[in-house]
């Protein structure tokens, strides 16, 4: 029976306080996101009880309602029924700032990382898959590394990471409320080939007599984030100094002139030192006990995803890729997280007689297995019935032990899933790591399925009426 998206959207809007309580509505891959005028007017517990809703969580500036793959249909229904609600993707920065005051520093950092990195992740995953495609084509399809096809594909595969500062400058401009064009200009300047080539002169050059640490900021996150954050305050200063009558040209001019030494002498080097420090820590851990990190992250994976803390790992993964060319400490742990959700959903689908859970579990299983999207299962099944969450944890621990023992590596960025398994292919053409990753996925699925089946679950929370 097809879902009534109009009814589902109306119920959600009613439970969050009505259309008048929603200042903006938008959505991501699986969640309907709403910025609220009055958070106290929303009843998330009632939202969670709505048939078709997998879960609901507080977020910066409002709430997120987990719908699943058809969230766009609920969004379309909501804006059709209530055209008075503003829709769009840009978050009201003032609302974010007001809510940030109620959070601790660590939560603020996670929220910033999430909002800055989240929009870029699909593009990074595309690049990772292109890298895997190149490996397949050169190994089995006879593609020559000297051909123009190889060159073009290789550029496409490296483009997202190489120009990462520019993409982050764009998302940072939205987050910090800076001028987007100036933000992109500053990021482009930091990775300009002539700026990078200054390292041939020596470790230090000068700008107006000020010391500039030569560095290659391509594929980095922290330097550009700090720089665009600083730009926010420089723009405010320029607005005070330059009269409105000549602001069109001279405010951007003054802003750029001030940002040159700030970016190249202060924020860029500070970000570089922070990145080097994190990389040194990662390298030290990897040299002494490469199994330690994957074991810890794997055991904590469900908690990391539930709290959004997994976003804090992404800069570390980027550093691993840019320095050693693979990650054997962090993202391999998410074989357990992603494939466990397939095992949990499959067990729930086969065991339950509840029609609502069976429909949900079937959709969740396909989503987790093919695309590595875990939120529908995690919020819609694991959290609602609790025991499947225990099964998830057991499977994640089993995968972590396996990956730690056999040193499974990730060679390209991507969420582990059926279609993205080539990210585990070694570019040198050897297949042992790929086979180990498949074994880890199979182990995870079997353990998650068995644990869910044995522990059982109470599916009465889904009701009996469709």
Read off the tokens for 164: 């990462």
Longest dimension (CA), the chain: 75
| Average pLDDT for 225-243 | 95
d(CA 263, CA 256): 10
Nearest to 254 by CA among 275, 239, 233, 268: 239
Residue 67 has pLDDT above 90, yes or no: no
Please say whether the beta carbons of 314 and 117 come within 8 A: yes
d(CA 408, CA 415): 15
| Average pLDDT for 189-196 | 95
Any bridge partners for residue 58, and if so which? Answer: 63
d(CA 411, CA 132): 8
**330-367 pLDDT tens trace:** 888 899 999 999 999 999 999 999 988 898 899 889 88
d(CA 124, CA 414): 7
The kind and range of the H/E element at 211 are strand 210-213
Read off the tokens for 390: 């225990």
Burial class of 378 by CB neighbour count within 10 A (0 to 12, 13 to 18, 19+): buried
Predicted local distance difference test score (pLDDT) of residue 375 = 79
Mean pLDDT of the chain: 86
Burial class of 411 by CB neighbour count within 10 A (0 to 12, 13 to 18, 19+): buried
Please say whether the beta carbons of 326 and 407 come within 8 A: no
| Average pLDDT for 61-78 | 84
Say which DSSP state 331 is in: G
| DSSP string for 4-33 | -HHHHHHHHHHHTT-GGGEEEEEE-SSEEE
Predicted local distance difference test score (pLDDT) of residue 62 = 74
**393-422 pLDDT tens trace:** 999 999 999 999 999 999 988 788 888 898
Q: Which residue has the higher pLDDT, 76 or 93?
A: 76
The number of residues making up the chain comes to 466
Three-class DSSP category at 207: strand
d(CA 414, CA 200): 34
Predicted local distance difference test score (pLDDT) of residue 60 = 56
**Of 28, 265, 364, 403, catalytic:** 28
- Distance, first Cα to last Cα, the chain: 8
d(CA 312, CA 323): 18
Predicted local distance difference test score (pLDDT) of residue 96 = 42
Please say whether the beta carbons of 210 and 261 come within 8 A: yes
Residue 460 has pLDDT above 70, yes or no: yes
Please say whether the beta carbons of 314 and 415 come within 8 A: no
Q: What is the pTM of this model?
A: 0.72
Residue 288 has pLDDT above 80, yes or no: no
| Average pLDDT for 318-328 | 81
d(CA 189, CA 194): 9
Residue 210: count other Cβ atoms within 10 Å of its Cβ.
12
How many helices (H) and strands (E) would you count in the chain? Answer: 21, 6
Go through the domains of the chain in sequence order and give each one's CATH number.
5-99 (3.30.1360.60), 163-280 (no CATH), 289-462 (no CATH)
| Catalytic status, residue 265 | no
d(CA 139, CA 143): 8
């Amino acid at each position: 029976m097809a879902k009534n998206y109009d009814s589902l959207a109306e119920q959600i809007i009613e439970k969050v306080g009505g259309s008048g309580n929603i200042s903006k509505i938008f959505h991501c891959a699986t969640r309907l996101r709403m910025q609220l005028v009055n958070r106290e007017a929303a009843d998330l517990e009632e939202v969670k009880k709505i048939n078709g809703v997998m879960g609901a969580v507080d977020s910066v500036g409002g709430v997120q309602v987990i719908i699943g793959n058809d969230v766009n249909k609920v969004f379309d229904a909501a804006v059709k029924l209530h055209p008075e609600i503003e829709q769009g993707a840009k978050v009201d920065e003032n609302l974010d700032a007001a809510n940030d005051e109620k959070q601790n520093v660590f939560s603020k950092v996670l929220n910033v990382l999430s909002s800055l990195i989240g929009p870029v992740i699909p593009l990074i995953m595309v690049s990772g898959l292109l890298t895997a495609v190149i490996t397949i084509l050169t190994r089995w399809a006879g593609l020559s590394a000297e051909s123009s096809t190889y060159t073009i594909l290789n550029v496409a595969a490296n483009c997202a990471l190489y120009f990462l500062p520019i993409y982050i400058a764009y998302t940072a401009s939205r987050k910090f409320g800076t001028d987007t064009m100036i933000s992109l200009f500053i990021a482009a300047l930091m990775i300009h080939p002539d700026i990078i080539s200054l390292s041939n002169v020596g470790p230090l050059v000068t700008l107006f007599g000020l010391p500039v640490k030569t560095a290659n900021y391509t594929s980095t996150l922290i330097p550009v984030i700090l720089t665009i954050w600083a730009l926010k305050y420089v723009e405010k200063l320029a607005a005070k100094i330059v009269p409105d009558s000549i602001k069109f040209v001279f405010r951007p001019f003054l802003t750029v002139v001030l940002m040159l030494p700030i970016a190249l002498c202060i924020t860029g080097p500070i970000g570089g030192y922070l990145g080097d420090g994190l990389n040194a820590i990662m390298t030290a851990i990897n040299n002494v006990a490469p199994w330690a990190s994957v074991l810890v992250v794997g055991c904590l994976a469900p908690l990391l995803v539930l709290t959004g803390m997994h976003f804090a790992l992404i800069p570390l993964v980027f550093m691993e890729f840019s320095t050693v060319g693979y990650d054997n400490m962090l993202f391999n742990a998410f074989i357990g997280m992603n494939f466990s959700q397939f095992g949990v959903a499959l067990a729930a689908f086969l065991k339950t007689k509840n029609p609502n859970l069976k429909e949900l579990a079937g959709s969740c299983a396909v989503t987790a297995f093919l695309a590595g999207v875990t939120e529908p299962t995690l919020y819609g099944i694991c959290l609602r019935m609790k025991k499947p969450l225990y099964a998830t944890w057991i499977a994640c621990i089993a995968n972590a032990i396996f990956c730690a023992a056999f040193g499974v590596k990730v060679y390209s960025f991507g969420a582990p899933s059926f279609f993205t398994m080539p990210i585990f292919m070694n570019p040198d053409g050897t297949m042992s790591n790929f086979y180990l990753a498949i074994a880890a996925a199979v182990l995870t699925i079997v353990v998650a399925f068995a644990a869910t089946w044995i522990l059982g679950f109470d599916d009465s929370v889904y009701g009996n009426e469709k």
